[in-house]
Chain A
């Protein structure tokens, strides 16, 4: 029984981290059809922002929840203005540019801060479940995932900006005819996506090794989850990260972490095969 609770917590933890890591990518990819290969580096920037702010004396909660997303969001806006805005509708060029961007960011951070970084300890400590121990931070992560989910849902469904954004994504020309400025909507959306990714980086900073190349570990898994999830950002990403988180964590527990990953990848392939066009098939029509 205790073991079952602990395993459930593991799955919750896996799902929550995967969701937090993916939601920013899902917004950028799902809404703007930009494959952001620098996604992992946005996570890295979030983690660095958190660590540097905390080491400079800022309260750790403030640096995780406010400094990290704000900083990466601003970086995202800057990048959108200088680079991404020239690439809308050019899927492959956007990949090339963001791959270059990811190398650039890694190089920049290495040049400034070196190859290793003093991390921040995990706050909150652990608790007891029967004979097992788990950390409060796991539950906090799950809570944050739920809040982010609610926030994004509210933003897209309940606000005027969300309405406009969805309209622009659906048909930019029509939206422009109605007096909307698609350029601005894209810019803000990219900034929000980057900010959420930065938040994920900040939240994972106390649990990770902080290096300039840490982002590489996330990109493939996030990409698979987002595409597997489909067009509807919240429900798609949530179901995919829930499914993949469950499969990965249970697979890792029951077999080995290696086969945990292999099983995850295999199930992703079969998921896509079973739902070839999926809910989101129409979404990608005409892109190549």
Chain B
């Protein structure tokens, strides 16, 4: 597969996805539409970690820190402003700034990989503990009460830009969320083919070699981390828009672990895989709760274990490999597939 054909295929896929997003409300009932809106919002979170982990080589155990921060910033700002437009903006900017500060602290301190995971995890736990203990009248920002473990209920949802009196309909919410997901996917693709993206992948492959070639690897990693933080923050705002609610469990360890599961299930080192993984796992968790025969934990646990043993590479790469394999059998020309295969085996 040549680059040109690959790019052609991808643009067709993106176009198909965009059409799908536009037409979906005609074919789904209201509940299903709200459910895919949630999944798409969560996919934005998946995309943020897919980017920094799969392409920047930064395994953050606490991507929910930025996600939750985005959610809280959006909720507090929109309650205070009465208009969601600037609140969404803030929900991107503040998590990005927080990511910049944390990233500076970590990367410029030369903290190595597993330690980085622990630091991000710990930051998330601190946020959980702090936000959790903010029940009571005194904890308020402007007119928004933080609400402790109960969280902030009845957060205003998105409205038409600068028209707070017109809240978005569920269809419009879906268009915004699904559209954002596709736009972010495209944006990340563009970043990856840019000079910066190529350097980032080089750093992931071999940090020392990239440094010896004269690149400031700390700065590159910081850049990747900040982009990831900004996207996760936006995901948080979309998530709050879906449920009109934000609470400290958004920072929980189980959600942090779940994102990693989405990516592993979908396929690390791809951008599309984690979105698939997110949809599949979220749908699975929701379906499990509707049955009464088995304990929900039992079912989900068994599925995850079976998954690791049977599909170790993740859904999307396995699927692509199967395609490649088919083609190979067809043409009996093994050489053409080699680079693609190698590209997918990274990490």
Contacts and interface: CB of A to CB of B under 8 A. Distances in A.
A–B contact at 8 Å CB threshold (below): yes
Contacts of B253: 216, 219-220
Given A261-B129, A262-B130, A272-B115, A107 B299 contact: yes
B291 interface: no
Nearest to B346: A288
Contact of B109 (A86, A220, A276, A284): A276
Given A261-B129, A268-B118, A288 B298 contact: no
Interface string B282-314: 000000000000111111111111011100100
B112 A276 contact: yes
Contacts of A273: 105-106, 109, 111, 119
Nearest to A227: B118
A143 B105 CA distance: 40
A223 B114 CA distance: 11
Interface residues of B, number: 47
A219 B4 CA distance: 48
B77 interface: no
| Secondary structure dominating the interface of A | helix
A97 B305 contact: yes
Given A83-B305, A95-B260, A266 B297 contact: no
Contacts of A90: 312
Contact of A92 (B129, B264, B298): B264
A102 B59 CA distance: 21
Contacts of A110: 295, 297-298
Contact of B297 (A87, A104, A261, A278): A104
Contacts of B111: 272-273, 276
B216 interface: no
A54 to B, nearest CB: 25
A86 B307 CA distance: 13
A230 B126 CA distance: 22
Interface residues of A, number: 46
Interface in A81-138: 83, 86-87, 90, 92-93, 95-97, 99-108, 110-111
Interface string A262-282: 100110110011001110010
Contacts of B123: 265, 269
A79 to B, nearest CB: 10
A37 interface: yes
B134 to A, nearest CB: 10
Nearest to A261: B129
A125 B109 CA distance: 49
A164 B130 CA distance: 46
Query: Which of B114, B126, B347 has the most C-beta atoms of chain A within 10 angstroms of its own C-beta?
Result: B114
A123 to B, nearest CB: 32
A262 B301 CA distance: 31
A288 B53 CA distance: 9
Which interface residue of A278, A285, A288 has the most chain B CB atoms within 10 A?
A288
B220 to A, nearest CB: 16
A111 B298 contact: yes
Q: Identify which of B113, B299, B347 gathers the most chain A CB atoms within 10 Å of its CB.
A: B113
Interface string B259-282: 011001100100000000000000
A3 interface: no
Contact of B307 (A100, A102, A106, A108): A100
B57 interface: yes
Interface in B96-137: 105-106, 109-115, 118-119, 121-123, 125-126, 129-130, 132-133
B298 A277 contact: no
Contacts of B126: 262, 265-266
A284 B112 contact: yes
A96 B261 contact: yes
B257 interface: yes
Contacts of A69: none
Listed residue (B57, B112, B303) with the most chain A CB atoms within 10 angstroms of its CB: B112
Given A90-B312, A108-B298, A100 B118 contact: no
Contacts of A285: 112
B119 A269 contact: yes
A278 to B, nearest CB: 8
A269 B127 CA distance: 13
A92 B57 CA distance: 12
Nearest to B110: A276
A101 B119 contact: no
Given A268-B122, A281-B112, A103 B298 contact: yes
Interface string B312-323: 100000000000
29 contacts: A86-B309, A87-B308, A90-B312, A92-B268, A93-B308, A95-B257, A95-B264, A96-B307, A99-B261, A100-B302, A100-B303, A100-B307, A100-B308, A101-B305, A107-B296, A110-B295, A111-B295, A220-B125, A223-B121, A228-B118, A258-B133, A265-B126, A268-B118, A268-B122, A269-B123, A272-B111, A273-B105, A273-B111, A276-B112
**Closest CB pairs A-B (n = 3):** A107-B298, A100-B304, A104-B301
Given A103-B297, A273-B109, 7 more contacts: A83-B308, A92-B260, A93-B264, A107-B298, A219-B253, A272-B119, A276-B111
Interface of A: 37, 83, 86-87, 90, 92-93, 95-97, 99-108, 110-111, 216, 219-220, 223-224, 227-228, 258, 261-262, 265-266, 268-269, 272-273, 276-278, 281, 284-285, 287-288
Interface of B: 57, 59, 105-106, 109-115, 118-119, 121-123, 125-126, 129-130, 132-133, 204, 253, 257, 260-261, 264-265, 268, 294-305, 307-309, 312, 347
